Amino acid sequence: MTKVKLAPAAEFTANCEHFNPSIFITNLAHKIQTWLKSIESAQHIEIEPHHAQMHVDSNTAYIFKDILDDTPIGSVFLEPLPTKIRTGFNLMELEKSSAVYMTRFMLDPEYIGNKIGDVMLQEIQNVCSKKGVAIVLDTWEGNAKLRKFYERNGFSFRGIFGKVEGGEEFFVACYSQTGGK
């Protein structure tokens, strides 16, 4: 099984001279969207380069690498829990400073199916557990496989909520986890 390491994107850049994390994240999202279309999924993922760069600059972007060959294989954004998510998803018991909002959790499609996503999520859980913060996430409510993945990994279902992104309205399933798995 592949072993992975989670590192802040800025740190990853320091260790890899010719690596641009915002370009990697943007290209990974495009690659995943192409894969989603090929399997006829209605799910949509898109990240503009300036959005990825904003997360890199604010130290909320993380890169997963295969520790055997230092290949970047995925990414995630872990940002302070936004007030609109906290109130919109009825998470009032969570203080903004005691939770992170996990978005754009992405794995290169070439690695899907090998339980690497579980290993990646465990890395996120370990980082958040050490910081003493809960994890809040949402996923398209129509993706039953991904919803089961989060539940299998110790996340609690919080409900279905409407969300607007890029002018499109859709429904998401919200999950949270406090402490480790």
| Helix, strand or coil, per DSSP, at residue 120 | helix
Taking alpha carbons only, the member of 100, 6, 10 closest to residue 55 is: 10
* Predicted confidence (pLDDT) at residue 137 exceeds the cutoff of 70: yes
| Residue 14 scores a pLDDT above 80 | no
Q: Domain of residue 26: give its range.
A: 4-177
In a 10 Å sphere around its CB, with 0-12 CB exposed, 13-18 middle and 19+ buried, how is residue 153 labelled?
A: middle
Q: What is the mean pLDDT of residues 112-130?
A: 91
Residue 54: pLDDT band (50, 70, 90) is: very high
Residue-level pLDDT at 106: 94
pLDDT for residue 17: 65
Distance, CA of 74 to CA of 28 (rounded, Å): 7
pLDDT of residue 8: 87
- Residues 6 or more apart whose CB falls under 8 angstroms from that of 114 comprise 1, 2
**CATH number of the domain that residue 111 is part of:** 3.40.630.30
Name which residue leads in pLDDT, 87 or 96.
87
55-88 per-position pLDDT tens digit: 999 999 999 988 888 789 999 999 999 988 888 8
**Between residues 149 and 67, the one the model is more confident about:** 149
Among 6-20, 55-69, 125-139, where is mean pLDDT lowest?
6-20
Total structural domains in the chain? 1
Share of the chain above pLDDT 70, in %: 93
pLDDT band (50, 70, 90) for residue 155: very high
